[in-house]
């Protein structure tokens, strides 16, 4: 009996240390990303960006945090008391909980105990990530409703409809990854992407491609090569889930003031703000784990446990950079176009890609048939994406398309 208690005690102790370290690291990264976003966008717009606090303005995020912490924070008289109070926490907590299943690095051995650099390696990791995403809706819908104000209500309801629409596409885009990895655990998925692509024999017998396939022995074995459509869907849906540009309609200041957090101020607003950046970081981390090999990467002999962590951080920041870049580049979508994209493009595309992945990966079907099916399905995808789009001159009949979002 005491052995059981000892084991649970040790598990809880290691868990607590992991949790605190990851929590602090995540908050620091999110603060860094707020600074990074302002600096990167300033650079893209030929401005300077924050440069007053600390070297290169690095302490700007901390200064902002302190300022918001000491600001007066009041609840409007029309607001619903308890819901107004818990909405910021409901927005922030699910966004950081999802990091729990993401493997951040390899493992170290402390004594006779193997400690993995992941908070919890559970067998339903992908579903856990989706569950946290579905709980993240509540922060938005509660903030919008609790404020007792018109703009937050409209922003909250719009945003909720957006979140649930893209949640389906997000979930469906992860199914092909589960198919090729044969597991829902993110640790297994990362482990399956170890090493390089290796010896490819697919193009044997085809003159030029046969020579070119040697290059695969130095290409890392990431799922992005075979699963890039899944990544495209995941990335678009993920950005929509984080409420960021070009999907930042809930905060569209020209029509909704600040959307669901119009009535929030001080530390409660800071929670929404930080929650959004934590969500961005966590989403990037999940994208890296699912499509870019997670923590795998070449390392030197010294400090073998450090290199995976650095690789993971670097890859995550590159994806974060992509998301920031999109914000600087793309204009905001109109709401009907947003729904059009989610329901009539991403969801059918995700379903189609699931079928494609299943067809390609099913054993016992000859290579030629699989190639033929693949070509036919690729043609279908292209024809279907281009159909009815008014910008494409070769579209069959743009006027007859039922699926155009614009009126």
Partner 1 sequence: MNLEYFVFGVMFVMALGASLAMLFARNAVHAALFLVVTQVALALGFLLQGAFFVAAVQIILYAGAIMVLFLFVIMLLGVDTREALIDPLPGQRPLAIGLGGLLAAEILWVAVRGVELAAGGEDQATALTELNQNPGNVKALAAELFSRYLLPFEATSVLLVVAIVGVMVLARRIGRVPNTGTGAESASGSDKEGAAA
Partner 2 sequence: MPDSGVFEYLAAGLRGAVSRTNALPNCAFCVLVFGLSATLSYPRGSPRSCSHIATSGAVPAVPRDYFSQYITIGIFVLVGLGLVGVTLQLARLVRPNVPTREKYTTYESGIDPIGRGWTQTNVRYYIFALLFVIFDVEAVFLFPWAIVFERLGTQAFIEMLIFIAILAFALLYAIRKKMLEWL
Cα 21 to chain centroid, rounded: 21
DSSP codes, 133-179:
HHHTHHHHHHHHHHT-SHHHHHHHHHHHHHHHHHHHHHHHHHHHHHH
Q: In this complex, which beta carbon is closest to partner 2, that of residue 20 or of residue 392?
A: 20
Residue 220 gets which letter from DSSP?
Answer: B
Q: Which residues lie closer than 8 Å to 373 by C-beta, 6 or more apart?
A: 359, 360
| 151 interacts with, out of partner 2, partner 1, none, CB within 5 to 8 A per kind | partner 2
Q: How far is the CB of 7 from partner 1 (least distance, A)?
A: 10
The CA distances from residue 5 to 2, 12, 23, 115, in Å, are 5, 10, 26, 19
Q: Which whole-number Å values give the CA distances from 228 to 176, 244, 350, in the listed order?
A: 11, 22, 12
Helix (H) or strand (E) holding 113: strand 113-116
Geometric angle at alpha carbon 335, from 332 and 337, rounded to 5°: 85
Contact 170, 234 (CB under 8 A): yes
- How far apart are CB 362 and partner 2 at their closest, in Å? 6
User: Which of partner 2, partner 1, none does 401 bind, CB closer than 5 to 8 A by kind?
Assistant: none
Q: Is 10 in the site for partner 1 (CB under 8 A)?
A: no
Cα distance between residue 196 and residue 194, in whole Å: 7
- Spell out, one character per residue from 317 to 336, where the chain touches partner 1: x when CB under 8 A holds, - when not: --------------------
- Shortest Cβ 277–partner 2 spacing (Å): 15
Residue 328 CB-half CA count within 13 A: 18
Nearer to partner 2, 182 or 386 (CB): 182
Which entry of partner 2, partner 1, none binds 346, CB below 5 to 8 A by partner kind? Answer: none
The entry of partner 2, partner 1, none that residue 83 binds, CB within 5 to 8 Å by partner kind: partner 1
Residue 144 burial class via C-beta count within 10 angstroms: exposed 0-12, middle 13-18, buried 19 and up: buried
Q: Which of 84, 117, 145, 231 binds partner 1 (CB under 8 A)?
A: 145
- Stretch of residues binding partner 1 (CB under 8 A), selected from 137-145, 292-300, 308-316, 382-390: 137-145
Q: Which stretch binds partner 1 (CB under 8 A): 149-157, 348-356, 376-384, 385-393?
A: 149-157
Q: Report 154-193 residues binding partner 1 (CB under 8 A).
A: 154, 157, 160, 164, 167, 183-184
Query: Least Å distance between CB 393 and partner 1?
Result: 28
Report the alpha-carbon distance of residue 338 to residue 354 in Å, rounded. Answer: 23
Interface of this chain with partner 1, residues 76 to 115, rule: CB under 8 A:
80, 82-83
Pick from 51, 123, 217, 329: which binds partner 1 (CB under 8 A)?
Answer: 123
Smallest gap, in angstroms, from Cβ of residue 122 to partner 1? Answer: 7
Look up tokens 């606090």; give the residue.
53
Residues that bind partner 1 (CB under 8 A): 8, 80, 82-83, 122-124, 127-128, 130-131, 133-135, 137-138, 141-142, 145, 153-154, 157, 160, 164, 167, 183-184, 407
């Amino acid at each position: 009996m005491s052995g059981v208690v000892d084991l649970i005690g040790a598990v809880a102790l290691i868990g607590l240390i992991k949790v605190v370290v990851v929590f602090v690291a995540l908050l620091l990264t999110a603060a860094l990303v707020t600074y990074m976003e302002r600096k990167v966008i300033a650079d893209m717009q030929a401005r300077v960006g924050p440069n007053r606090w600390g070297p290169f303005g690095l302490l700007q995020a901390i200064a902002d945090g302190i300022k918001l912490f000491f600001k007066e924070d009041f609840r409007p008289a029309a607001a619903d008391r308890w819901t107004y109070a818990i909405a910021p926490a409901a927005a922030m907590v699910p966004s950081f909980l999802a990091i729990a299943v993401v493997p951040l690095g390899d493992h170290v051995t402390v004594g006779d105990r193997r400690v993995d650099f992941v908070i919890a390696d559970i067998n339903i990791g992908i579903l856990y990530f989706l569950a946290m995403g579905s709980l993240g809706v509540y922060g938005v819908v509660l903030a919008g409703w609790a404020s007792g104000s018109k703009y937050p209500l409209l922003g909250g309801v719009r945003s909720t409809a957006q979140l649930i629409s893209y949640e389906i596409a997000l979930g469906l885009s992860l199914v092909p990854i589960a198919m090729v990895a044969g597991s829902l655990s993110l640790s297994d998925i990362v482990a399956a992407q170890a090493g390089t692509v290796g010896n490819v024999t697919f193009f044997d017998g085809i003159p030029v491609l046969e020579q070119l396939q040697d290059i695969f022995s130095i290409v890392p074995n990431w799922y992005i090569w075979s699963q890039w459509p899944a990544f495209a869907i995941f990335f678009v849906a993920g950005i929509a889930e984080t409420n960021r540009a070009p999907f930042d309609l809930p905060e569209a200041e020209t029509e909704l003031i600040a959307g669901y957090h119009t009535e929030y101020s001080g530390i409660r607003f800071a929670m929404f703000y930080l929650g959004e950046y934590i969500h961005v970081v966590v989403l990037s981390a999940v994208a890296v784990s699912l499509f870019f090999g997670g923590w795998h990467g070449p390392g030197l002999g010294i400090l073998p446990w450090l290199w995976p962590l650095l690789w993971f951080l670097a890859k995550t920041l590159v994806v974060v950079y992509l998301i920031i870049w999109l914000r600087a580049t793309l204009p905001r979508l109109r709401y009907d176009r947003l729904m059009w994209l989610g329901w009539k493009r991403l969801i059918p595309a995700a379903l189609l890609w699931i079928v494609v992945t299943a067809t390609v990966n099913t054993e016992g079907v000859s290579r030629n048939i699989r190639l033929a099916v693949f070509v036919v399905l690729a043609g279908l995808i292209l024809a279907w994406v281009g159909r009815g789009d008014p910008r494409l001159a070769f579209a069959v009949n743009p006027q007859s398309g039922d699926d155009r979002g614009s009126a």
